[in-house]
């Protein structure tokens, strides 16, 4: 992921320097387990533990010759070890995937914990915003067309619960990727005791794979990336709602717009929804990682490395972009400007058409058939669309033509926008308990 969208903490987790730190940690723990079992000399462990991790530059210089990153790492680390003789016990009984998959599991768990903290924050921000606007009337829209009265807090509550569910999926996905294996070539433990695997897993807070061949099967990693894609897409749903709300014709919502900010290089009046558009764009990047990672599940026999090149790109990009999306969506919601007055104006802009469903219900109760009622109300509504005459007036005219008497007082009562949202208390009561 490019630096523009990389936040420092997540960038560090996926840096080459941190990767080599994790590799050193895994190899050292394996040596500790071997030494405790008497498999290798006990005095070999401390010199290796004290050896500084090789720099990415050191490893890259050697890899240019070896064309093998793990061997390049082991050689560079051995060069940092005093006495160098101790380094011969590093990687004892292991194969490359033992190191790679175990360190990757730890790396993905670390990344997940960062994402979970940001998801918790966004859930709280969405919850509080929705509760703040539980009484902010607006028109609900279906197919982009005014439907019935609603409140802005109801729409945001839906996003809050969606993000909470997505966060909970990520908690489960953390377990799916926190799986390691140190089982040797083709995974039969032929050169390494299973007790070594158990020791390393416990120290790293991971779980040994139920079965591994030489690699850990990628279904867990595919689940993790898919979960990130859902999170990113929920962020996109929030951003898309705000983009629509900021359109000039709507003008109900405004992104935060700071002092000195510019909206257009040509038109000084512009306040564009750039944060929301950025969120919608980057969500595509996260979703794009699902298929290539999913295709890392089927490999040739016990192992090939067709998944490796894909994961070097897809996993950091998915995590870094999701991290940034959560950060940006939280910033967007914290600074969101809600124009309640404009929402009310838009609510009333169709001259009462948004009450057509209530009128249908009321007229059915007079004894008319649903078909006749629908035809009457639709005819009045179409006349309002065409002429701009208030719906109550066209409804009176249409009813008179059909010999139907309207109960004006009753219509006054049921055509209040507050009536339409009076049963939403149950939603906001649930929302109060969301954490």
What positions carry a catalytic annotation?
Answer: 143, 264
Backbone angles phi, psi at 267, to 5 degrees: -120, 100
Contact of 424 with 156, CB cutoff 8 Å: no
Contact residues for 8 (Cβ-Cβ < 8 A; gap 6+): none
The two structure tokens encoding residue 252: 């109900």
DSSP helix/strand/coil, 148:
strand
The alpha carbon of 260 is separated from its chain's Cα centroid by a whole number of angstroms, namely 31
> Cα(403)–Cα(362) distance, rounded to whole angstroms?
16
* Secondary structure, 3-state, 369-386: CHHHHHHHHHHHHHHHHH
> Cα(287)–Cα(426) distance, rounded to whole angstroms?
34
Vertex 397: Cα angle to 394 and 403 (nearest 5): 140
**Hey, how many other C-beta atoms are within 10 angstroms of the C-beta on 222?**
22
Strands 207-208 and 179-180: parallel
Contact residues for 296 (Cβ-Cβ < 8 A; gap 6+): 218, 221, 222, 306, 307, 310, 311
Residue 221's closest CA among 213, 232, 209, 233? 209
Contact residues for 363 (Cβ-Cβ < 8 A; gap 6+): 373, 376, 377, 404
Contact of 254 with 336, CB cutoff 8 Å: yes
Location of structure tokens 């992104």: 255
The two structure tokens encoding residue 343: 């929402």
Contact of 174 with 204, CB cutoff 8 Å: no
């Amino acid at each position: 992921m490019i630096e523009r969208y990389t936040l420092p903490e997540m960038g560090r987790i996926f840096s080459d320097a941190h990767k080599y730190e994790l590799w050193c940690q895994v190899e050292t723990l394996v040596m500790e387990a071997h030494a405790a079992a008497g498999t290798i000399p006990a005095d070999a462990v401390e010199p290796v533990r004290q050896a500084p991790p090789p720099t990415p530059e050191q490893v890259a210089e050697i890899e240019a010759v070896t064309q093998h990153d793990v061997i390049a790492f082991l050689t560079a680390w051995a060069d940092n070890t005093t006495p160098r003789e101790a380094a011969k016990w590093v990687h004892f009984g292991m194969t490359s995937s033992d190191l790679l998959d175990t360190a990757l599991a730890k790396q993905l768990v670390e990344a997940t914990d960062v994402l979970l903290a940001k998801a918790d924050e966004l859930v709280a921000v969405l919850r509080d915003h929705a509760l703040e606007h539980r009484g902010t009337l607006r028109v609900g829209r279906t197919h982009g067309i005014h439907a019935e009265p609603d409140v802005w807090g109801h729409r945001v509550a839906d996003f809050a619960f969606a993000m909470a569910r997505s966060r909970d999926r990520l908690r489960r996905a953390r377990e799916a990727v926190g799986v390691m294996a140190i089982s040797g070539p083709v995974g039969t433990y032929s050169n390494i005791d299973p007790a070594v695997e158990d020791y390393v897993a416990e120290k790293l807070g991971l779980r040994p794979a139920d079965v591994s061949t030489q690699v850990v099967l990628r279904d867990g990693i595919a689940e993790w990336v898919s979960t990130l894609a859902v999170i990113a897409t929920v962020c996109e749903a929030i951003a898309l709602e705000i983009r629509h709300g900021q359109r000039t014709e709507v003008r109900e919502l405004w992104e935060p717009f700071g002092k000195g900010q510019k909206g257009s290089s040509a038109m000084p009046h512009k306040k564009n929804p750039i944060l929301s558009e950025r969120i919608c764009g980057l969500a595509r990047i996260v979703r794009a990682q699902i298929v290539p990672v999913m295709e890392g599940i089927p490999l040739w026999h016990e192992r090939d490395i067709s998944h490796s090149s894909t994961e070097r790109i897809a996993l950091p990009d998915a995590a870094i972009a999701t991290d940034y999306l959560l950060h940006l969506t939280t910033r967007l919601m914290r600074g969101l400007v809600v124009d309640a007055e404009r929402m009310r104006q838009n609510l009333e802009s169709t001259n009462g058409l948004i009450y057509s469903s209530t009128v249908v219900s009321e007229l059915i109760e007079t004894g008319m058939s649903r078909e006749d009622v629908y035809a009457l109300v639709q005819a009045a509504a179409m006349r309002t669309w065409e002429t701009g005459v208030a719906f109550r007036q066209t409804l009176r005219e249409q009813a008179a033509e059909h010999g139907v008497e309207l109960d004006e007082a009753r219509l006054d009562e049921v055509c209040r926008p507050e009536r339409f949202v009076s049963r939403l208390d149950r939603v906001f009561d649930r929302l109060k308990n969301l954490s």
